[in-house]
């Protein structure tokens, strides 16, 4: 059974443009391989509400996708082991 999800992740702002693009592509390719990516929106560098790992800014990326619930565990695992991602959230949408 497929469900709709939304995920926002924040990439370390100290990375150069090429490294940031590489991380975004890595996550995008993972989602596309296991789910149906509806939309990916790069918000760019923004100020954080509070410091995370001594960073006051982050590079924000928003994704909307449709996937099986089992895929969410894999996406969560990849977020956790990717050091360049400083914060993330995955939520189920009620569309």
pLDDT in the model for residue 95: 66
Domains present along the chain, CATH in parentheses: 3-52+63-86 (3.30.70.60)
- Residue pair 58/14 in contact (Cβ under 8 Å)? The answer is no
Provide the residue-wise pLDDT of the chain in tens; the chain has 95 residues. 899 999 999 999 999 999 999 999 999 999 999 999 999 999 999 999 999 989 999 999 999 999 999 999 999 999 999 999 999 999 999 86
Q: Which residues pair with 52 in a beta bridge?
A: 55
73 Cβ neighbours under 8 A, 6+ residues apart:
none
pLDDT in the model for residue 1: 87
pTM score, whole prediction: 0.91
CA distance 42 to 26: 14
């Amino acid at each position: 059974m497929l469900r709709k999800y939304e995920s926002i992740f924040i990439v370390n702002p100290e990375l150069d443009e090429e490294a940031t693009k590489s991380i975004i592509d890595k996550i995008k390719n993972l989602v596309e391989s296991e789910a149906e990516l509806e939309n990916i929106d790069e918000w760019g560098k923004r100020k954080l509400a509070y410091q995370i790992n001594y960073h006051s800014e982050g590079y924000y990326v928003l994704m909307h996708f449709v996937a099986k619930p089992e895929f969410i565990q894999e996406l969560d695992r990849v977020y956790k082991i990717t050091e360049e991602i400083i914060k993330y959230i995955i939520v189920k949408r009620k569309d």
